[in-house]
Amino acid sequence: MATTEKHEAETDFRERRTDILVATATVAAGVNLPARAVVVRDTQVGLDSFDGATIQQMFGRTGRVGVGEPAGYAFLIADEYERGGWQSRLVRGHRVVSRMRVSLADHVLGEVVRGAVGSVPQAERWWVQTLAYHQGNRSGAPLVEAVAFLGRAAMLRGSGAPGAGARAGGHGAGCTHRTDDGADSRR
């Protein structure tokens, strides 16, 4: 599937024009969409079996409050020989702890380069949807620090500090990143 087709399918799903989105395990692990339910129809790809963390990562696509789903349901289709083992692994589970705060500036810059964040208010909306925000004290302080660091490093311009309003840094609330040749690229 071409990138444009993929983005179109994700947009249609996000905006509720499509009810079902079928995805590969690779896509399913990174999709940040408002999914009510996830069905994992296989426990392996080729000869490689999924581990419990991968299945839980796919299950984690459901019930994402920050993207519009207050509840989520996850289903794993396994044959009768695998069922007991999977039940044990998934019930035993493990606590997922976000490590995003350790490299938050990298993540913010990545979102700017990707075009998903182009202003301080957009960065704030992105931040409150992350697991790191919800596992922390639900503070904007880490984001303020990350944006300030990127500004000092001349990696963002006109970024100001989150919450500073539309005239942050005297350049409006837009974020700009520097490319390798030093040229600015508006995002």
Pair 34, 69 in one domain: yes
Q: Give the E-state strand segments of the chain in sequence order.
A: 37-40, 44-45, 48-49, 73-76, 156-157, 176-178, 184-186
Judgement on whether residues 21 and 83 belong to the same structural domain of the protein: yes
Q: Is the same domain home to 120 and 60?
A: no
- Token readout for 88 is 């044990």
- Total domains in the fold of the chain: 2
Find the domain containing 151 and state its range.
100-186
How does DSSP classify residue 168?
G
83 and 105 assigned to the same domain: no
- In this prediction, residue 35 carries a pLDDT of 79
My answer on whether 27 and 86 are in the same domain is yes
- What is the rounded CA–CA span in Å between residue 10 and residue 6? 6
Are residue 115 and residue 180 in the same domain, yes or no?
yes
Amino acid letter for position 166: A
In this structure, are 88 and 105 located in the same domain?
A: no
Query: Do 60 and 28 fall within a single domain?
Result: yes
Contact yes or no for 120/161 (Cβ under 8 A): yes
Same domain, 74 and 105: no
SS3 state of residue 117: coil
Q: Per-residue pLDDT for the chain (187 aa), expressed as one digit of tens each?
A: 778 888 888 888 888 898 888 877 666 666 667 778 888 888 888 888 888 888 888 887 777 766 667 778 889 998 889 888 888 888 876 677 788 888 999 999 999 998 889 888 999 999 998 888 988 878 999 999 999 999 999 888 764 444 333 222 333 334 544 434 444 433 3
Query: What CA–CA distance (Å, rounded) separates 143 from 120?
Result: 10
- Which CATH number is 38's domain given? 3.40.50.300
pLDDT score for 180: 42
Say yes or no: 74 and 130 in one domain.
Answer: no
User: Which domain-ending residue is among 92, 113, 133?
Assistant: 92
